[in-house]
């Protein structure tokens, strides 16, 4: 159903793309993000933990920045506890499966890529050992809250493709989920605007981190109260012209 909804949105927007860029309004976008939202986790039980599937935690801290090439570098909820472990809202359909966690700092100096196995019980947010595994705890704990992006993807890391579905990360928090954040590399676009289905448009702003190499914009998208799929369209604009459209599917159920 998620892919069908995304495909329908793409067809609609392809038709709209025939109009000139000058006449684009806020509903004429071709960068679609489908998100299935979950309710707040009130009265949480003890969280289950994902299993790291490699003997070594794979991460890099470089002397020079790595700019990467992805547009969306993070999909997460951000809290205020720098010592909190990374958690994930793992769909029940992922139970027992391997999934990939990729992280990156906005300055391009730190990144990690590790494969985990989801527990059988995913009814609560799942703990994903990261803070406890890293060799560079100061880099993580001292990072600006908007300077650390996380992607959670439904495949072993070596099998991830551009179409691999993702899930929502919880960084420095265990809930409740009241809004989610996109970290995006604007590739020097003048503007980035997110359009949540049924909600008001969100102007993506410059992140608060001092160095913005791997990504530079943050889009804070309010969560709608009902469960179900939520479409968010995101478009970069430079010199009055649309940037290259992309589609990202987030599978949280």
Q: Please, where are the H alpha helices in the chain?
A: 2-16, 137-141
**What is the structure's pLDDT at 223?**
66
Read off the pTM.
Answer: 0.79
**What is the structure's pLDDT at 9?**
40
**What is the structure's pLDDT at 163?**
78
Q: Write the DSSP string, 174-191.
A: ----SEEEEEE--TT-SE
Give the pair of three-digit tokens for residue 54.
Answer: 């490699």
> How does pLDDT run along the chain (253 residues), one tens digit per residue?
333 344 344 333 433 333 333 344 444 444 444 444 444 444 445 679 999 999 999 999 999 888 767 888 988 999 888 878 999 989 888 999 999 999 999 999 999 999 999 999 998 999 999 999 999 999 998 899 899 999 999 999 999 998 788 888 999 986 666 778 989 888 889 999 887 777 788 899 999 998 899 999 999 887 654 455 566 778 889 999 987 777 666 766 6
**What is the structure's pLDDT at 134?**
96
**What is the structure's pLDDT at 224?**
53
How many CB atoms neighbour CB 175 within 10 A? 18
**What is the structure's pLDDT at 242?**
85
Instruction: Please write down the long-range contacts of 223-226, taking CB distance under 8 Å and 24 or more positions apart.
Output: 223/37, 223/177, 223/178, 223/179, 223/180, 224/37, 224/196, 224/197, 224/198, 224/199, 225/39, 226/37
- Is residue 68 helix, strand or coil? coil
CB 65 within 8 A of CB 107: yes
Q: Which of 166, 191, 173 is nearest to 72 (CA)?
A: 166
**What is the structure's pLDDT at 35?**
44
Distance CA 192, CA 206 (A): 10
């Amino acid at each position: 159903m998620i892919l069908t909804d995304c495909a329908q949105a793409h067809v609609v927007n392809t038709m709209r793309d025939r109009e000139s860029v000058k006449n684009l309004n806020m509903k004429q976008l071709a960068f679609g993000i489908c998100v299935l939202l979950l309710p707040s986790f009130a009265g949480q039980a003890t969280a289950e933990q994902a299993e790291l599937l490699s003997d070594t935690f794979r991460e890099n801290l470089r002397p020079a920045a790595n700019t990467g090439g992805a547009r969306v570098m993070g999909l997460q909820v951000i809290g205020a506890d720098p010592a909190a472990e990374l958690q994930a809202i793992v769909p029940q359909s992922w139970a027992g499966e391997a999934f990939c966690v990729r992280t990156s700092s906005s300055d391009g100096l730190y990144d990690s890529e590790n494969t985990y196995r989801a527990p059988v019980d995913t009814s609560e947010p799942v703990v994903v050992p990261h803070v406890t595994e890293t060799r560079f705890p100061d880099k993580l704990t001292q990072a600006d809250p908007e300077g650390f992006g996380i992607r959670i993807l439904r495949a072993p890391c070596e099998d991830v493709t551009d179409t691999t579905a993702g899930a929502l990360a919880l960084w420095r928090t265990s809930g409740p989920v009241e809004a989610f954040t996109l970290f995006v590399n604007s590739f020097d676009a003048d503007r980035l605007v997110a359009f949540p289905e049924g909600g008001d448009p969100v102007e993506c702003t410059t992140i608060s981190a001092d160095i913005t190499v791997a990504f530079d914009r943050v889009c804070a998208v309010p969560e709608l109260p009902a469960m179900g799929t939520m479409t968010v369209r995101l478009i970069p604009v430079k010199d009055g012209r649309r940037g290259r459209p992309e589609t990202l599917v987030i599978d949280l159920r």
